[in-house]
Amino acid sequence: MDGEIVLKLSIVVPAYNEEETLELFVSEVNKQTEKLPLEKTFYFINDGSVDNTLGILKKLSVNKNIKYISFSKNFGKEAALLAGLREADGDYITVMDADLQDPPVMLNEMYTKIQEGFDIVGTCRVSRDGEPPIRSFFAKTFYKIINKISDTEMVDGVRDFRLMTRQVDSILKLKENNRFSKGIFSWVGFKTTYLPYENRERVAGTTSWSFFGLLKYSIDGIVNFSEAPLNIATFVGFVSFLTSCLLSLFYLVKTLIFGDAVQGFPTLIVLILLLGGLQLLSIGIIGKYIAKIFLETKKRPNYIIKESNIKSN
């Protein structure tokens, strides 16, 4: 009807070497959400892909509801998410992966939850079927650790896939360069609920996440949302100092009273290596935090846009 207000949904999609999945993704999202009373706009962020991802995006962008941003190089998923969220102008915003591991059909239930009064409706996997066992083990361990040492709660298996109201603007007010979106989404608060679902495999292509890449990402999350490693380093240093004092007193008494000269060259070597290792560990932990401070003070942009079909405001 004339004068009817049509609400908009912005779909933010980071893409790195996703030439095989993009057309499938757009088709599936449109198919599964055709009954949603929302006008959809896709915001694809080409994160320095080396395949034909950009070419496919240009081809798809003949449709006016498909926008794209292409970075000058690979800046990482966090930068891509930030770029998409900055450009998204919908009444509702969702973040999704292009590989269809985030089921588009769930957007219908997520929208229903939003209408019930929730500000953010997230998703979490209840199983990790198809994932390498070692990756599943470390992922579960990460969530156990981060929830014990951080004041910011993170749900085990939580995905970036979520539907949000315009409250997402508060996320953009966080100006930190080193971003960990799972923690940021949780830190800002608001009325949030999570929908469970079974793990799904990629529809095509291969993941760009390696085990060590995920490990580094996890360490960044711990450093960004907890001071516990610094407290551990301090505690280890104190315990090492106290132990050395007690051992010194013990050997002094043993020598002066019992006349038993201290023997044990191997023991001395072991203690030196132990204390040296603990010192290096503590310095490494402190260095990690200093490195984060160093990167923040540089004030470098999170990303550089090479080209885009989004008109500047």
176 and 247 share one domain:
no
User: What CATH number is associated with residue 136?
Assistant: 3.90.550.10
Q: How far apart are CA 196 and CA 185, in angstroms?
A: 17
14 and 116 share one domain:
yes
Q: How far apart are CA 122 and CA 153, in angstroms?
A: 14
User: What are 284-300's pLDDT values in tens digits?
Assistant: 777 777 777 777 777 77
What integer pLDDT is reported at residue 43 of this predicted model? Answer: 92
Whether 157 maps to a domain, the answer reads yes
The overall average pLDDT reported for the chain is 76
Whether 217 maps to a domain, the answer reads no
Whether 216 maps to a domain, the answer reads no
Identify which has the larger pLDDT, 20 or 188: 20
35 and 64 share one domain:
yes
Mean pLDDT of the 151-169 span: 74
Whether 1 maps to a domain, the answer reads no
Q: How far apart are CA 39 and CA 273, in angstroms?
A: 64
Whether 223 maps to a domain, the answer reads no
CB within 8 A of 154, min separation 6: which ones? Answer: 143, 146, 147, 182, 183, 186
261 and 143 share one domain:
no
CB within 8 A of 66, min separation 6: which ones? Answer: 26, 41, 42, 44, 57, 60
Say how many C-beta atoms besides its own lie within 10 A of residue 288's C-beta: 15
42 and 92 share one domain:
yes
What's the domain range around 129? 8-210+301-308
Q: Is the per-residue pLDDT at 102 higher than 70?
A: yes
Please give the tally of structural domains in the chain.
2
Among 235, 296, 81, smallest CA distance to 168 is for 81
CA distances for 311 relative to 68, 160, 172, 175, 216, angstroms: 11, 27, 20, 24, 35
286 and 195 share one domain:
no
24 and 167 share one domain:
yes
Whether 2 maps to a domain, the answer reads no
259 and 197 share one domain:
no
Burial class (CB in 10 A: 0-12, 13-18, 19+), 199: middle
Whether 221 maps to a domain, the answer reads no
285 and 203 share one domain:
no
249 and 100 share one domain:
no
193 and 237 share one domain:
no
Q: Is the per-residue pLDDT at 138 higher than 70?
A: no
127 and 236 share one domain:
no
Whether 41 maps to a domain, the answer reads yes
